[in-house]
Each structure stands twice: as C-alpha cells, then as structure tokens.
C-alpha cells in the first residue's frame, strides 16, 4: 500500500520541480508596434510569444523591472511570466527602446496637405526570469 502512495507523492514533487524550472527562466520573443499618422499615435500592439528554441547569442543588455508578484491558482502558475510581461507592458516597452528600433516612414502631398505615416517596430528575443521582486529581461541581439 505504501508504494502507490509514495509513487503518487514523488510524481507531485517531480511536477513541482518541473514547474519551478519553468518559472526560473524562459525564452520569449517580445514585439511592439505603433503607427503614427500626422504626428498622432493611431494604433499600437504589444505581443509576447514563447520562443520555439533557445537563442544562441549572448545577451546584449539586461533590464530589471520591480514587480508585485500576484497570487495565482495552481493551474495559472506556469503562466506567471506571461502575466507579468503583459501587466508591466509599459516598463517592458521602455526596456525594448534601449535596443534596436525600426522606423518606417512615408509621406505624400494631396491638395496642398501633407500626409505623413510612420510605423515604429521593435522585435526582441529575450530571456525572462523572476528574481525576488524583480522581473529580469535579458535582451539578445537580433541576427
């Protein structure tokens, strides 16, 4: 009788260790885009996706964002980093501004009026982890 109980307990411990490993550090691709029309911001988009494979380059720079870690139900704990990245979106975007920013601009003149459009895009592979009360982002250089 003890063997099944021990096996069940050891599988729970193994699952907990795996989940803690997932929370330590994960690779993401973080993107941000904003469209500006005649000097007025029209649209913006923020996205995160888990990287399909580890990034091979070294980190270009590191950002630390102070966070309040929320209490989550056990089913949501594997998504803690996703939730924190979305909750602290403004701070994450400020961190991305330190790296590569691509701006596409176009302008034309119709009926004596200038029309200007600009799109700001940032895409950054990052390793994200939680250390104490800090969300640590290691931003990699793009190839």
Contacts of 33 (CB under 8 A, 6+ apart): 43, 44, 45, 119, 120, 121, 122
- Domain locations along the chain: 26-140
Q: Average pLDDT over the chain, rounded to whole?
A: 82
Q: State residue 137's pLDDT score.
A: 95
Residue 126's DSSP bridge partners are: 28, 139
Residue 33 scores a pLDDT above 80: yes
Residue 26 scores a pLDDT above 80: yes
* pLDDT classification of 22: cutoffs 50, 70, 90: very low
For 34-72, give the DSSP string: EEEETTEEEEEEEEEEE-SS---SPEEEEEEEE--PPP-
pLDDT digits (tens, 9 = 90+) for 62-113: 999 999 988 889 998 899 999 999 999 999 999 998 887 788 888 877 777 7
């Amino acid at each position: 009788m003890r063997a099944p109980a021990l096996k069940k307990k050891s599988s729970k411990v193994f699952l907990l260790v795996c989940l803690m490993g997932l929370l330590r550090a994960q690779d993401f691709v973080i993107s941000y885009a904003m469209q500006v029309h005649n000097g007025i911001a029209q649209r913006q988009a923020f996205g995160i996706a888990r990287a399909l494979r580890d990034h091979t380059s070294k980190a270009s720079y590191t950002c630390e964002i102070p966070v309040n870690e929320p209490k989550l139900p056990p089913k949501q704990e594997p998504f803690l980093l996703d939730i924190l990245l979305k909750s602290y979106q403004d701070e994450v975007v400020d961190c991305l501004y330190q790296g590569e920013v691509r701006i596409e601009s176009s302008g034309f003149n119709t009926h004596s009026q200038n029309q200007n459009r600009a799109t700001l895009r940032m895409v950054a592979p990052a390793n994200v982890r939680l250390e104490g009360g800090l969300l640590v982002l290691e931003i990699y250089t793009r190839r």
